[in-house]
Structure 1
Amino acid sequence: MAIALSLLPVPAAAEDEPMPDHDDVTVEGVRQPYRGSFALREIPQAITTIDAGTLQENNILRLTDALDLNASVVRQNTLGGLWDSFAVRGFAGDENLPSGYLVNGFNAGRGFSGQRDVAGIERVEVLKGPAAAVLGRGEPGGSINLVTKQAELGRTFGSASLQYRSFDTVRAEGDANVALTGNLTARLIGYAESGDTFRDTVSQRRWGFLPSIGLGIGDNTRLIYDMEWTRTAVPFDRGIVVLNNDFRTVPRSRFLGEPGDGDTVARAFGHQLRLQHDFGSGWSLLLGASHRDTKLTGASSDAETATARQKLFVDGHTLSRQRRTRSYTSSHDVFRAELAGDFATGGLTHRVLIGGDVDYFDTDQYFTRFRGPVVTATTTDRQSYAIDIQNPVYGRWPAPAGVATTNRLDVQRTLGAYVQDQISLTDRLQVRVGGRVDSFLLRVDNRLLNTEGRRSRARVSPQAGVVYELAAPVSLYAAYGEGYRANIGTDARGNIFKPETSTSVEAGVKLVAFGGRLNGTLAVYQLDKANVLATDTVNPGFSVAIGKARSRGVELDVNGQLPGRVDVLLSYAYTDAEARSRVLDPNFSFQISPGDPLINIPKHNANVQLARHWTFGGREALLGAGVQYVGERSGQTGTRFMLPAHTLARVFGEIDLTPETTLFASVSNLFDTQWYANSYSPVWVQPGAPRTATIGVRARF
């Protein structure tokens, strides 16, 4: 059997080509964990890919903006712009921690590293539906997997770009793949960005270094090392206030914190080491380990959320604030192994995955807070650490000293093993069965209360699916899965939460057209969760249990290339996500009732984009446009406060100046729409960016 290996990830379109016979297998890239050798149409699960070309054409720089291209993923609160937070199919996980995502199959998105930059990302995979039986601790709505750009053996090439953006922001980025020897290659990727934002007094600085080293050990073995070293410095920003549902209470540019608080800084330093070996006859082994440290430090002045302490609700212009400081760190280690292969029994073909992983995650949080008294006729602005929202005077009061309200260490230890078998019953019918067993230990060391809590649990999560090829380009599928996720931390009283459990049902149809260049999926689903948490806004860093929740919906995703060199992206999601328990919020006394919508989840979400490639006098060019619609959604748990719907338009294009240089430009929010990205409450509403233009040049060698 001839096997050709490189360190170039398999292009998304190629995954939908028919698999070759095992007598002549060409492995075009490093196999992704948890996936096996399946074309996308064979997987009983909705999967959408956003590739590096789409990210580059749209000039997308952050993971959050990339995920806007898929309607099944919606924004959640980002801790003042300091972490990634999103919901897939209506479920967001723990709002007091960043949303977890995978990097090359490793759990790597946890911790306090700032918002993820897309530099160094080859593609973003949105893995929807009931995959917990293999992936383990993900949300039932789906998981996000980032496939990084990796060293390509035996080649030397690279690119560099420089761009200027609205609000005096400059960004430089470089990517160099250097063949050191025939079997050893280094790929060096880095970026640096600095400038202002549309928010008054708020500037930002970011940089990252993301190298990859590939080593070929013989013909069938590859060793890959990746490093992540990043830093983000930006003022903590809770956004604007909305009084009496008037979203023009203050301009979207108005900063209501204190510039004197300085930057909140998020740092990450991590490593991945992966070994792939192909035994032949369709069998391969993946071994891997990762380690990642993160740290977030800084101070902020945030609007007071408690009604009784908020002077704004008395006079309509004086905003009472809290003074907060944060020192959060995390350490995350993952070890994993996976064996994949195929064999026949009688007339049946089996493709199996057998694997296991060990996951150690520690997070240490120290948080201090000053808050003013209950507002009375004699309460002074200084006592409330207040600012006038209509005429802000920064630095009016000395920063008050806070007291520690959180000082705890959360330790999570998880051991998991899984098996999956996809059986070809006929040329058209395949059945998938599998399951995962997890054993976890959660320990919470509360230093303020001088108490330690422990919880351990083991659980089996089964999965099942079926795929039927109706015709060469069309397949039908259905899937069922169960899952669980350990809820890290405690409530404000020190009680450890029970694990979150879920069940998922999904069915759909997949289309592959134009030789695999165009892919589409139509899916319907229902997800049910128990032991769901929501943010405790009175006690920062803590959550409250809201019981059960349900999400059900319909999705349509189409992406690829039409004849005539026209790229198309269409994504629509109808999501009905709601609470299914009756709970009295212990802090605000808001009644959460069955049927109440989950926060920041629109029922309707859509993204449509077209781009045309041209040739002018031998010069390649591209021109594209897109529209995103986000429907009305809840802006505060248990209340009727709603964020309005919005529609955003964008245009983008590029043209080759020479065979080695390209001029590119983009304009987002073309019509300067007022929009709002997410919300915790009416006094913590994040406004979206106004019209933003970018122009830049890219060189290749």
Structure 2
Amino acid sequence: MRSTSILLAGISCLATVPAYAEEVDDAEITVTGIRQAYRGDFDQKEIPQAIATIDAKQLEDNNILRLTDALDLNASVARQNTLGGLWDAFAIRGFAGDENLPSGYLVNGFNGGRGFGGQRDVAGIESIEVLKGPAAALLGRGEPGGTINIVTKQPVYGNSFGSAALQYGSFDRLRAEADANVAIGQKLSVRLVGYAEGAESFRDTIESNRRGFLPSVGLRLGDQTRLTYDLEWTRVAVPFDRGIVVLNNNLTTVPRSRYLGEPGDGDHVARAEGHQLRLQHDFNDKWSVQLGVSHRDTLLTGQSSDAELVRSRQKLFADSQSLSRQRRSRVYDSEHFVLRGEVSGEFALGGMRHRILFGADYDKFENDQDFRRFRPPAVSGNPSDLAANIINIQNPVYGRFPLPTPAPLTNRVDIQKSTGFYLQDQINLTDRLQVRIGARYDDFQLQTNNRITTVQSERKASRLSPQAGLVFEASDAMSLYAVYGEGFRANIGTDAAGRIFDPETSQSIEAGTKLSLLDGKLTGTFSLYEMTKSNVLATDTANPGFLVTVGKARSRGAEMDIAGQITSTLSLLFSYAYTDAESRSLILDPNFSFQIRPGDPLINIPKHSLNVQLTQEFTLGSMNGQIGAGVQHVGKRSGETGTTFKLPSHNLVRLFGQFELTEGVELFGEVRNLFNAHWYANSYASLWVQPGTPRAASIGVRSRF
């Protein structure tokens, strides 16, 4: 009998593994897994950290197309303000990042989410890992609540295969996508992934166009050495949309379909071009080295007409129908370069097993923003509708006035350079007890050049962030863990006077248990945590493009994640989070001059979130299929900092399924928001509220070859 050798190094039990497969002969296959950065060689139950994985099958089953929608499957992640739908923004365990930048995330271990390339499509994604809690001793620059790591689809050696799909959905959404792996011999393989999508919207006058090409090339330089190159090329064109207005807490002030911008502003266009080159060499089955470089350029351009938020300039508060609007122009350009290397391995010392990670990374992020604005005059001066750029919210007439010309407001470039070194050792003290100790040293430099004021600023800082954890394997089915960690993140940007802020620091503690049930087919994690962070920043509304400090914040809560097979044909995905996130400082809100007090909730963070999903596979004749249903609950949450305005709770039900028509061809479909609930995705203020999509359905056909 011939043997099959499998090595799943670094990501076992965490995700669908993107692997290189080489056919040695007609009976023996060797599979070498790709080690994930910052991870090492650990089983899920050995890691003192809560980790949830959303794999490619779950994305496909639910027909999920955007990263934001995928993250809804995990209750620990809450939606945040998305800049009119132009970038991804989320909070993990109650903490979000910089309001003026997209939420950061990792792509194959490289910082990759900070630019302006639009909301990320899930095409080309193998899995999404929600790495929760105090991992700052390795990751260093992320939020203390956690980090998202996107694992992309990789080339597979020795086997050619692929799939193509075409679907049509509500609001005339038409989408085509393809994924083809082409093996060129046993040492070279190319993975080609692409998509194109055009759609209207439930929002009046809004249409979007998206397309992307995400190829990768794998080259086997030897039995133990692999070189991988990934390209990201995407374009998104969609009008800027601040959502609806809400007066006197009445969420039916206007229909959820009503667009209050100007179609004449045209589209905002977001472009991204990224490159990754990664080299992995396995010295043996214990030691490995990874080297990599990443470079990503993004550009966001466009104009928009947005509701004025300052009460003294907003006529709507006087007559309940005339919305005064700003007009804004954006040219946001970013360049992000990352260089990293890591060695992982193990050895025995003093009768104890040591598993080591040590490495270094360099990160340069250049953020160039040219922001222009027209602002309506004060209501006290009784300006004309033309002067205030008015639109009637009950009877909007688009193009009523010539579009105002925005004047220069912010023209600044920020250049952030960061260098980090990290070391982690996980020691088996006994067969059942492990201790993890680690630390990361970060050194950063921030330079800003304000081209309007000619003020140039520079700031340097450094910090050592420690981490320590324990893992106790109580039984084969249960392990207990506890961990403490500190974090450090440079605050990019300045205040209106050009002063650079102190870095953001954090302290986190977490404890929990991990379960493996039904012979490992069903796994779960229960965790408790508390985190605090200092030097938190917020947008300075009086001076757009600038920031002000809002002091300290704290988040604490409890979570439970369960996933896997209940039976051979019935699978479960369960995620619940209780999150108590609040301000810990007494400050005057920088945006609207409201008083913020200790205990005030953080914006867009529900206390209770839940996602439950069941999927049943079946056979009809000789053909296979599956059907599934899920429900998402998001609790009531703050919709505006420093006021009593709340977004109501909502419950969304979805149905999905697929059926094999013939061998290699399947029909799939889904219905979202089955009961057509009125819900709200996020809010920045009562005049900038994003309504959620009403009931929507799609149907498509997929061919596998």
Alignment of 1:66-85 (within 5 A): 66-85=70-89
Aligned to 2:100: 96
Question: How big is each residue's C-alpha offset from its partner over 1:631-686, in whole Å with a ceiling of 9 and x where there is no partner?
Answer: 01111111111111111100000000011101000000000000000001010000
Q: Deviations over 1:74-99 (max 9, x none)?
A: 00000000000000000001111000
| Partner secondary structure for residue 134 of structure 1 | helix
Measure how far apart 1:227 and its partner are.
0.4
What is the match of residue 501 of structure 1?
505
SS at match of 2:356: strand
Note if contact 1:3-1:27 (Cα within 8 Å) is conserved in structure 2. Answer: yes
| CA drift at 1:154 | 1.0
Aligned pairs (5 A) from 1:193-592: 193-376=197-380, 378-592=382-596
1:433-465 per-position Cα deviation (integer Å, ceiling 9, x unaligned): 000000000111111110111110010000000
Q: Is the 8 A contact 1:13 1:517 kept in 2?
A: no
1:185-214 Cα deviation digits (max 9, x unpaired): 000000000020110000000000000100
Letter in 2 for 1:184: L
> 1:3: how far off?
7.4
Do the aligned partners of 1:121 and 1:147 also contact (CA within 8 Å) in 2?
Answer: yes
Structure 1 position 492, deviation (Å): 2.6
Q: Check the 8 A contact 2:13/2:43 in 1, yes or no.
A: no
Checking the alignment, whether the CA contact within 8 Å between 1:623 and 1:653 is kept in structure 2 is yes
Alpha-carbon contact 2:10-2:35 (below 8 Å) kept: no
Task: Name the stretch that deviates more: 516-525 or 226-235.
Answer: 516-525
- The answer for the alignment partner of 1:114 in structure 2 is 118
How has the CA–CA distance of structure 1 residues 197 and 587 changed in structure 2, closer, same or farther, with 3 Å as cutoff?
closer
Residue-by-residue CA offset, 1:206-249 (whole Å, 9 max, x unaligned) = 00000010011111000010000000000000000000100000
Q: How far does residue 534 in structure 1 lie from its aligned partner after superposition?
A: 2.0
Task: Report how many aligned residue pairs link the two structures.
Answer: 692
CA distance in 2 between partners of 1:538 and 1:305 (Å): 10
1:5–1:13 distance in 2 versus 1, CA, 3 Å: closer
Query: What SS class does the counterpart of residue 313 from structure 1 fall into?
Result: helix
Q: d(CA) in 2 for partners of 1:291 and 1:5?
A: 30
Aligned counterpart, 1:648: 652
Partner in structure 2 of residue 679 of structure 1: 683
Secondary structure of 1:516's counterpart equals coil
Amino acid in the other structure paired with 1:612: Q
> Which residue of the partner structure matches residue 695 of structure 1?
699
Partner Cα separation in structure 2 for residue 638 and residue 497 of structure 1: 23
Counterpart CA distance in 2 for 1:542 and 1:261 is: 24
For 2:72 and 2:186, locate their aligned partners in 1 and report how far apart those are by CA, in whole Å: 40
Which moved further from structure 2: 485-494 or 167-176? Answer: 485-494
| Residues 26 and 439 of structure 1: CA distance in aligned 2, closer, same or farther (over 3 Å) | farther
Q: Please say if residues 157 and 178 of structure 1, whose CA atoms lie closer than 8 Å, have aligned partners that are also in contact.
A: yes
Q: Deviations over 1:110-162 (max 9, x none)?
A: 11000000000000000000001101100000000000000001110000000
- SS of the residue corresponding to residue 57 of structure 2 reads helix
Give the conservation status (yes or no) of the 8 Å contact 1:433–1:464.
yes
Alignment check: 8 A CA contact 1:100 1:108 kept: yes
TM-score normalized with structure 2 length: 0.96
Any stretches of 5+ residues in structure 1 without a counterpart? 16-24
Relative distance call for 1:119 and 1:296 in structure 2 (3 A) is same
1:661 aligns with one of 657, 660, 665: 665
Letter of the 2:584 partner, please give it.
Answer: R
Partner AA of 1:634 in structure 2: S
**Residue 10 of structure 2 contacts residue 39 of structure 2 at CA under 8 Å; is this kept in 1?**
no
CA distance in 2, matches of 1:8, 1:307: 54
> Residue type matched to 2:378 in 1?
V
* Distance apart, 1:545 and its partner CA: 1.1
Deviation at 1:558, TM superposition (A): 0.4
Q: How does 1:43-58 map to 2 (within 5 A)?
A: 43-58=47-62
Q: Distance in 1 between matches of 2:702 and 2:469?
A: 45
Partner of 1:126: 130
Identify the match of residue 640 of structure 2 among 632, 636, 643: 636
Distance 1:382 1:429 in 2: 72
Aligned sequence identity (%): 64
Aligned partners of 1:339 and 1:353 also within 8 Å: yes
Matched residue SS, 1:217: strand
SS at match of 1:94: coil
Structure 2 alignment gaps of length 5 or more: 18-28
Equivalent residue letter for 1:291: H
Could you say which residue in structure 1 is the equivalent of 2:24?
A: none
Please give the per-residue CA displacement for 1:496-543, whole angstroms capped at 9, x wherever unaligned.
111000000000000012333211000000000000112333433222
Letter in structure 2 aligned against 1:588: F
**Alpha carbons 1:650, 1:670 under 8 Å: kept:** yes
CA distance in 1, matches of 2:9, 2:484: 34
